[in-house]
């Protein structure tokens, strides 16, 4: 009983490590999980007393439970059998594809990460780059939305900053679940985005099985009351104009909507505009009549460093004015229950061709609503006037008079014009200052003219209010 057992040092070290790991796994990890769960539940309880639209149980369901529910959904299983038969695949091979798609799409929402970390970070980023203004919101109608409704924000896509700005401004209403493209599927960005409740989509995928898995996730989230945010354009506007919408996500949402019972489905149009879009030059360059040769990685890095250095130098000299204004307007909500009743339709009972026509009709209505609430900002105003006078120089007085006349016309037509400090002359000064600092517009002896090689940039900012200008 008292005999000694000898063992090599490496065996002893291994045993100690395994013992520590056992203690860590059985005592510390459950304790940390309990502490974090308790803290997250406290955050959720606190937030649900403040948010206009509460965080629903579907959003708080464990990710693995959602994945299992999606994989074994009857419609997905039926689609998998059809897919296997048409492509001569075994059931195991087909189900492995389903599991891959389900894991790729399904988010893992973390309320603490969203409201305590991401929101604080978004607020600092947004306020450091832009003067953000909520120019218009139909507060009366927005407040009348049933809290149990499935709300979907539909917005134009100007910049990758849209995600940050709209989430920041909508944080008092609810937590948004974004549809995010494949560009963000890189580590660690992918993990962060999923923890914020976003789901990834493969735009333009021709795989019928993938589309069915995606459709069922969106339908389950919609039926579960998840507040979503989508960009019907499917990508950034390259010329400043609203792009032709891609209505796949909207079609998924309305295809199972019951206008008689259950949750209402409410679309809220959102218009976004900027005095400066960070990606503007690269976007405009992609639609040039004679595209230049692809830029090398060295060029991209050098340009980025130059941009950062120039702005840092302006900060040190006290001449940095951020990137101007960023405006967001919320339009009147569109209740699908009212829409279906007024038009006498039920999307579930329509034939394929009729369903497509009705979805296109709904999409046109939503895009029209978005176009009408896009904020008119100083740079868009000044750009429009300079383009109309591209062949001659304007004095400061002429420019101000032309912009002020344009403001009057747009306001009379019902456009949402944001005027800083309610001072129209100051609005002209702000817009012109941004363009001259960027050397898009030159000044000589008090006369202003756009550089010929920069007309595409001016056109990009003028096009941002194209739908609003059509009201004139």
| Total structural domains within the chain | 3
Contact 161, 326 (CB under 8 A): yes
Least confident of 54-68, 347-361, 384-398: 54-68
pLDDT over 60 at 41, yes or no: no
- H/E element, 449: strand 447-450
Q: What is the pLDDT of residues 314-337, one digit of tens each?
A: 666 766 667 889 999 988 899 999
- What pLDDT band is residue 270 in, cutting at 50, 70 and 90? very high
Average confidence (pLDDT) over 61-82: 89
Distance, in Å, from the CA atom of 459 to the CA atom of 17, rounded to the nearest integer, reads 65
Determine the 3-state secondary structure of 149 from DSSP.
coil
- Together in a domain, 189 and 298: no
Predicted local distance difference test score (pLDDT) of residue 452: 92
pLDDT over 50 at 396, yes or no: yes
CA 83-85-89 angle, to 5 degrees, is 80
CATH classification at residue 425? 1.10.10.10
- Together in a domain, 113 and 213: yes
And the tokens for 408? 């009057």
- C-alpha distance from residue 372 to each of 122, 142, 152, 364 (Å): 27, 17, 18, 12
Q: What is the pLDDT of residues 135-181, one digit of tens each?
A: 666 667 777 788 788 999 999 999 988 888 877 776 666 667 777 77
- Together in a domain, 361 and 432: no
- Together in a domain, 382 and 367: no
CATH classification at residue 222? 3.40.1130
Q: Which residue, 250, 230, 214, is CA-closest to 355?
A: 250
Looking at per-residue pLDDT, the higher value among 313 and 48 belongs to 313
Predicted local distance difference test score (pLDDT) of residue 57: 58
Looking at per-residue pLDDT, the higher value among 143 and 44 belongs to 143
Predicted local distance difference test score (pLDDT) of residue 172: 61
Predicted local distance difference test score (pLDDT) of residue 28: 57
Percent residues over pLDDT 70 in the chain? 76
Range of the domain at 413: 378-469
- Together in a domain, 388 and 355: no
- Together in a domain, 169 and 306: no
Predicted local distance difference test score (pLDDT) of residue 47: 45
- Together in a domain, 142 and 225: yes
Residue 12 lies in a domain: no
- Together in a domain, 391 and 353: no
- Together in a domain, 327 and 200: yes
Least confident of 113-122, 206-215, 257-266: 113-122
Residue 4 lies in a domain: no
Query: Residue 258: exposed, middle, or buried by beta-carbon count in 10 A (0-12, 13-18, 19+)?
Result: middle
Contacts of 234 (CB under 8 A, 6+ apart): 157, 203, 243, 245, 246
- Together in a domain, 305 and 338: no
Predicted local distance difference test score (pLDDT) of residue 380: 96
pLDDT over 50 at 43, yes or no: no
The mean of the pLDDT values for the chain is 82
Average confidence (pLDDT) over 261-278: 93
- Together in a domain, 185 and 272: yes
Average confidence (pLDDT) over 49-53: 53
- Together in a domain, 244 and 347: yes
- C-alpha distance from residue 350 to each of 324, 335, 338, 354, 467 (Å): 47, 19, 18, 6, 31
Distance, in Å, from the CA atom of 336 to the CA atom of 267, rounded to the nearest integer, reads 8
pTM: 0.82
């Amino acid at each position: 009983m008292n005999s000694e057992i000898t063992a090599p040092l490496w065996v002893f070290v291994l045993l100690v490590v395994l013992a520590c790991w056992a203690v860590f796994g059985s005592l510390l990890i459950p304790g940390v999980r309990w502490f974090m769960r308790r803290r997250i539940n406290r955050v959720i309880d606190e937030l649900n007393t403040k948010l206009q639209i509460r965080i629903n149980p579907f959003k708080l369901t464990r990710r693995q439970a959602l994945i299992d529910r999606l994989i074994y959904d009857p419609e997905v299983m039926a689609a998998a059998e059809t897919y296997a038969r048409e492509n001569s695949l075994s059931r195991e091979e087909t189900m492995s594809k389903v599991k891959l798609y389900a894991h790729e799409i399904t988010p893992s929402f973390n309320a603490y990460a969203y409201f305590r970390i991401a929101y604080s970070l978004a607020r600092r980023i947004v306020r450091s780059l832009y003067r953000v203004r909520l120019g218009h919101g139909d507060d009366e109608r927005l407040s009348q939305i049933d809290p149990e409704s499935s709300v979907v924000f539909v917005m134009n896509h100007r910049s990758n900053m849209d995600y940050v700005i709209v989430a920041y401004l909508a944080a008092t209403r609810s937590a948004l679940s974004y549809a995010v493209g494949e560009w963000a599927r890189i580590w660690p960005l992918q993990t962060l985005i999923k923890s914020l409740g976003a789901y990834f989509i493969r735009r333009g995928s021709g795989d019928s099985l993938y589309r069915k898995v995606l459709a069922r996730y969106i339908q389950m989230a919609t039926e579960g009351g998840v507040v979503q945010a989508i960009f019907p354009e499917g990508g950034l506007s390259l010329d400043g104009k609203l792009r032709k919408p891609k209505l796949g996500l909207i079609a998924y949402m309305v295809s199972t909507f019951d206008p008689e019972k259950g949750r209402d489905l409410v679309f809220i149009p959102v218009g976004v505009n900027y005095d400066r879009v960070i990606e503007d030059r690269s976007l405009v360059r992609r639609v040039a009549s004679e595209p230049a040769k692809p830029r090398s990685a060295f060029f991209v890095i050098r340009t980025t460093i130059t941009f950062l250095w120039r702005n840092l130098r302006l900060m040190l000299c006290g001449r940095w004015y951020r990137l101007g204004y960023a405006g967001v307007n919320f339009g009147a909500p569109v209740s699908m229950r009212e829409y279906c009743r007024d038009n006498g339709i039920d999307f579930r009972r329509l034939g394929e061709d009729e369903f497509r026509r009705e979805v296109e009709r709904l999409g046109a209505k939503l895009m029209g609503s978005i176009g009408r609430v896009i904020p008119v900002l100083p740079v868009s105003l000044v750009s429009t006037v300079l383009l109309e006078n591209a062949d001659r120089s304007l004095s400061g007085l002429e420019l101000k008079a032309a912009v002020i006349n344009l403001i009057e016309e747009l306001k009379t037509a019902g456009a949402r014009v944001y005027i800083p400090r309610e001072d129209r002359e100051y609005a002209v000064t702000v817009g012109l200052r941004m363009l001259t600092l960027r050397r898009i517009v030159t000044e000589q002896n008090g006369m202003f003219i756009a550089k010929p090689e920069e007309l595409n940039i001016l056109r990009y900012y003028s096009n941002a209010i194209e739908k609003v200008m059509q009201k004139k």
